[in-house]
Amino acid sequence: MERTFTPTLYIRLRKRASIAPGQSITLGCVAQLLAEPEMERTLLDLPLFKPSEMDGNIVLIDMMHIVKTIRRVYPQLKVDYFGEPHVLVDVQTKPKPPNRIALAVVWVLLFVGSGLAIMNFHEDVSMMEVHQRIYEMITGRRSEHPYWLQIPYSIGLGAGMVIFFNQLFKKRFSEEPSPLEVEMFSYQESLNHYVITEEYKKMLHSAPAEPPAGEPDRPDRNAGGSA
């Protein structure tokens, strides 16, 4: 019995992608593909959706929308996907120049606030009395200002913060992420999850519309949207 060859497309969506304003979202922008060379070249340029101003600057593209669009070009193509069934696309806007005055104000507020927090902590735990007591235990004399304890302690406090955050200006001390980077990553993951959840909620309240022939269909909150 003769076996029929069925072409297969292997696809993995990126977690996040970005495009310029007015640019169409193509399959190559949002996914990695593996298929027959000629077919792959065609699919990489396959338009999925063109965002408009009303779609906002974040668009969700769903795997169901991708498969539906691919089937219009290759009806017999088998699609196997790996990873997440959706991708967030950022519509990049023109970056604004940094406001140096606002940056300076924020820097001063953070510097003064962190300094006050450290001083209040040391006052709460009576750090001055602790240093005086340690100095008296070691030397047998009492000093109101045991500088040879306070100066190394202050230097060690600053050095400890630098080591803890694993970064001094642009220099990193190891490849491990800093606690701040881990928190920022967790925040971004939670934000992505929230945006995706909200878009899927909108899917339940929208009906798909058939696009004109030869024109890629808009997700219409069914496979993509804004946040």
Domains along the sequence of the chain with CATH: 8-95+197-203 (2.60.480.10), 100-186 (no CATH)
**Distance (Å, whole) CA 29 – CA 92:** 14
Give Cβ neighbours of residue 16 (< 8 Å, ≥ 6 apart).
Answer: 87, 88, 89, 90, 192
pLDDT band, residue 167 (cuts 50/70/90): confident
User: pLDDT tens digit string along 99-146?
Assistant: 899 999 999 999 999 889 988 998 888 888 888 888 888 888 888 888
**Distance (Å, whole) CA 170 – CA 156:** 21
**Distance (Å, whole) CA 108 – CA 57:** 32
User: What residues are paired with 26 via a beta bridge?
Assistant: 47
Give Cβ neighbours of residue 36 (< 8 Å, ≥ 6 apart).
Answer: 7
Quote the pLDDT of residue 27: 92
Whole-prediction pTM = 0.64
> Computed from CA positions of residues 38, 40, 43, 45, in that sequence, does the dihedral angle turn out positive or negative?
negative
